[in-house]
């Protein structure tokens, strides 16, 4: 590879991203390769739900288990990447990295291309799950670090395919190789981890899923992000010129808050102190990310364990007009009476989307949804859905459902478990076929939670106006297994001093009633002018379990922003203040 491997170790390493999940924009790889210079192009294809999907693929066909859309992208772009000397590093190998690598070599042969492919694996612990105390999962995969990827880059691989590595590792690995970082250079490693965390979810760093999206220019097709990484681990977050979206301190801060736990962001190679990061606008669509402090990694690795939890089915009734609560009560009573065999779990949710004096039928309607779960597929199949449908002509006025009766489907359960760093056989197979075992880190430190939440007193700011919190605060939320996180940030020190005093755990529970009986942990991140909340158990047993209608808590932050609070008038734009008087 010409551009990355030949560059000076003091030069910037320019790493782009072209995928934030399995199903992201198919054209993104070509857009990134044609949009401007890059040294490395990364793709993140794996998530908790994806591992379940790939596990079921592999169970049906042992040759599968990898992200097949990645092959479609390479069919279009492999020649272009080789011509430009851009190395591709992706975790698209999923549960079958060797199978993915074989498919890439076969593809290159069909295209008449010569490609050097390296494979990083050893993460798959499924066959050893019993002896390791991990139960009997469909798939058990340890989150590996970045040094196997680094070895593949040093061997001049054109394409590096991995299994389950941490999301940031596809960025950290090429940086390790380029700058020859050693395992104990924790600050540099942590800086690259921060950059990797920012760009891992693609266009979420360039204005996608951004709270203040109306401020983003040309969000029709936002460009994918780039991290220009430096020798000390600091970076510039940017994008190709002329692409949609924007890169600002706010878009980067928002992504830094995505799916985090507390002030320590743990990885297999280092622990990033999120409270150490400084963000600074460095020009149009350029944000300097610096100051990252790193600590020794923990002695254990996280293991993603997914299994089939049982079977589920759901039916939704539409309730229209008057007496919504009474109609819901009648439908629930009738369905439960009609069930000949009751599923193990039956949950009801009434969504009051109806309006007073509605000017359309849709605005007059609410939805009552019943979800059935059981280990026995028959109990949630036609016996359940048929019972819901058969009451239709003898129930509340205007009764209808959103779907016909149908069979149930399997649902997955995710669980995070842990093993010692030296348990997986972290291995890289180099382009020449040589297999190299990557040693576990020799310097580790037990991971201690860092919930920086010193007592604060609400500052007095004079007169207030009752407006949505989102008038002044942004938020980003997501899932971590069965837990949800929501990070809330503001744009000035004065606003943070106010937010810090107002948005306590007790106040969050008031604003989000779903959280009242759950454990909520708050962490202060003053450098980002942000607060992070972890809500334990909100998502049941993970995304595939579908405990709530927003199973990944993607919009939890937007719900919080919609709640009204008393905001000092000095922070509220005049237009917003007038509209809420």
- Is position 251 within any domain? yes
Q: Which residue has the higher pLDDT, 461 or 539?
A: 539
Predicted local confidence at residue 576, as pLDDT: 56
Task: Give the pair of three-digit tokens for residue 77.
Answer: 């772009």
Residue range 557-574, pLDDT digits in tens: 999 999 999 999 999 987
Residue range 235-279, pLDDT digits in tens: 999 999 999 999 999 999 999 999 999 999 999 999 999 999 999
- Is position 448 within any domain? no
**Is pLDDT at 221 greater than 60 in this prediction?**
yes
- Is position 401 within any domain? yes
Q: What is the mean pLDDT of residues 66-85?
A: 97
**Is pLDDT at 362 greater than 50 in this prediction?**
yes
**Is pLDDT at 412 greater than 50 in this prediction?**
yes
Predicted local confidence at residue 507, as pLDDT: 96
For residue 391, is it left (φ>0), alpha (ψ between -120 and 50) or beta? alpha
Predicted local confidence at residue 5, as pLDDT: 39
Residues 340 and 281 in one domain: no
How far, in Å, are 80, 436, 496 from residue 462 at the CA level?
Answer: 60, 65, 16
CATH number where 360 lies: 3.30.70.380
Residues 258 and 334 in one domain: no
What is the Cβ-side half-sphere exposure of residue 436, based on CA atoms within 13 angstroms?
18
- Strand locations in 375-502 (E): 400-401, 409-420, 427-429, 435-437, 464-468, 474-480, 483-489
Residue range 270-309, pLDDT digits in tens: 999 999 999 999 999 999 999 999 999 999 999 999 988 8
Confidence of residue 542 (pLDDT cuts 50, 70, 90): confident
Residues 211 and 346 in one domain: no
Residues 56 and 150 in one domain: yes
**Is pLDDT at 457 greater than 70 in this prediction?**
no
The parent domain of residue 370 ranges over 305-413
Predicted local confidence at residue 187, as pLDDT: 98
Residues 148 and 189 in one domain: yes
CA dihedral 47, 52, 56, 58 (to 10 degrees): 50
Residues 539 and 571 in one domain: yes
Residues 432 and 481 in one domain: no
- Is position 450 within any domain? no
Look at 220-224, 231-235, 412-416, 555-559 and tell me which has the smallest mean pLDDT.
412-416
The domain boundary residue, chosen from 379, 413, 447: 413
Q: Provide the domain count of the chain.
A: 3
Residue range 53-74, pLDDT digits in tens: 898 888 888 889 999 999 999 9
Residues 108 and 203 in one domain: yes
- Is position 205 within any domain? yes
Residues 331 and 475 in one domain: no
Q: Tell how far CA 290 is from the center of its chain.
A: 23
Cβ count within 10 A of residue 430: 18
Q: Considering just the CA atoms, what is the radius of gyration of the chain in Å?
A: 25
What is the Cβ-side half-sphere exposure of residue 316, based on CA atoms within 13 angstroms?
11
Predicted local confidence at residue 549, as pLDDT: 84
**Is pLDDT at 96 greater than 50 in this prediction?**
yes
Residue range 128-158, pLDDT digits in tens: 999 999 999 989 999 999 999 999 999 999 9
Average pLDDT, the chain: 94
Residue range 508-517, pLDDT digits in tens: 999 999 999 9
Q: Are 450 and 262 in contact (CB under 8 A)?
A: yes
Residue range 100-117, pLDDT digits in tens: 999 999 999 999 999 999
Q: Which residue has the higher pLDDT, 542 or 522?
A: 522
Q: Tell how far CA 415 is from the center of its chain.
A: 16
Residues 537 and 568 in one domain: yes
- Is position 127 within any domain? yes
Calpha distance 436→283 (Å, rounded): 43
- Is position 455 within any domain? no
- Is position 459 within any domain? no
Q: What is the mean pLDDT of residues 450-469?
A: 80
How far, in Å, are 69, 200, 238 from residue 205 at the CA level?
Answer: 22, 9, 9
Residues 472 and 427 in one domain: no
Residues 229 and 333 in one domain: no
């Amino acid at each position: 590879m010409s551009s990355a491997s030949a560059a000076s170790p003091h030069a910037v390493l320019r790493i782009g991203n072209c995928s934030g999940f399995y199903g992201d924009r198919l054209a993104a790889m070509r857009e990134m390769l044609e949009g401007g210079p890059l040294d490395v192009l990364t793709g993140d294809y794996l998530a908790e739900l994806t591992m379940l999907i790939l596990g079921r693929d592999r169970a049906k066909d042992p040759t599968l288990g990898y992200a097949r859309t990645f092959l479609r992208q390479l069919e279009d772009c492999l020649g272009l990447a080789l011509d430009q000397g851009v190395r591709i590093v992706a975790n698209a190998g999923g549960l079958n990295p060797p199978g993915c690598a074989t498919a890439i070599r076969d593809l290159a042969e069909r295209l008449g291309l010569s490609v050097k492919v390296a494979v990083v694996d050893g993460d798959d612990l499924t066959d050893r799950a019993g002896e390791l105390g991990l139960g009997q999962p469909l798939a058990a995969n340890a989150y590996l670090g970045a040094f196997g990827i680094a070895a593949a880059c040093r061997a001049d691989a054109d394409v590096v395919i991995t299994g389950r590595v941490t999301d940031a590792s596809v960025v950290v690995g090429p940086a390790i190789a380029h700058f020859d970082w050693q395992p104990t250079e924790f600050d540099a490693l942590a800086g690259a981890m921060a950059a990797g965390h920012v760009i891992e979810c693609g266009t979420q760093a360039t204005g996608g899923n951004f709270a203040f999206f109306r401020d983003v220019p040309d969000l029709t097709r936002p460009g994918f992000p780039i991290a220009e990484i430096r020798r000390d681990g600091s970076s510039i977050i940017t994008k190709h010129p002329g692409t949609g979206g924007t890169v600002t301190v706010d878009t980067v801060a928002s992504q830094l808050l995505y799916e985090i736990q507390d002030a320590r962001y743990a990885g297999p190679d280092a622990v990033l102190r999120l409270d150490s990061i400084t963000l600074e606008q460095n020009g149009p669509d350029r944000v300097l990310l610096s100051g990252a402090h790193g600590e020794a990694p923990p002695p254990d690795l996280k293991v993603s364990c997914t299994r089939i939890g049982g079977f589920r089915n759901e039916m939704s009734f539409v309730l229209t007009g008057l007496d919504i609560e009474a109609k819901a009560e009648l439908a629930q009573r009738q369905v439960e009476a009609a069930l000949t065999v009751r599923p193990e779990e039956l949950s009801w949710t009434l969504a009051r989307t109806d309006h007073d004096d509605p000017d359309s039928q849709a605005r007059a309607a609410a939805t009552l949804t019943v979800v059935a779960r059981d280990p026995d597929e028959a109990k949630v199949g036609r016996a359940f859905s048929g019972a819901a449908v058969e009451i239709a002509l003898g129930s509340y006025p205007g009764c209808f459902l959103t779907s016909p009766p149908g069979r149930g489907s399997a649902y997955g359960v995710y669980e995070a478990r842990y093993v010692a760093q030296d348990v997986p056989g972290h291995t890289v197979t180099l382009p020449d076929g040589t297999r190299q075992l990557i040693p576990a880190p020799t310097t580790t430190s037990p991971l201690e939670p860092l919930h920086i939440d010193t007592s604060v007193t609400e500052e007095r700011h004079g007169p207030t106006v009752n407006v949505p919190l989102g008038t002044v605060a942004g938020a980003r939320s997501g899932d971590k297994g069965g837990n949800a996180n929501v990070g809330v940030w503001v744009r000035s020190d004065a606003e943070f001093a106010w937010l810090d005093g107002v948005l306590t755990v007790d106040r969050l529970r008031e604003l989000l009633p779903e959280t009242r009986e759950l454990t909520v942990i708050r962490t202060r991140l003053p450098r980002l002018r942000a607060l992070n909340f972890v809500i334990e158990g909100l998502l049941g047993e993970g995304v595939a379990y579908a405990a709530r209608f927003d199973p990944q808590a993607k919009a939890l932050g937007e719900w919080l922003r919609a709640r009204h609070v008393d905001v000092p008038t000095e922070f509220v734009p005049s237009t917003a203040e007038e509209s809420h008087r």
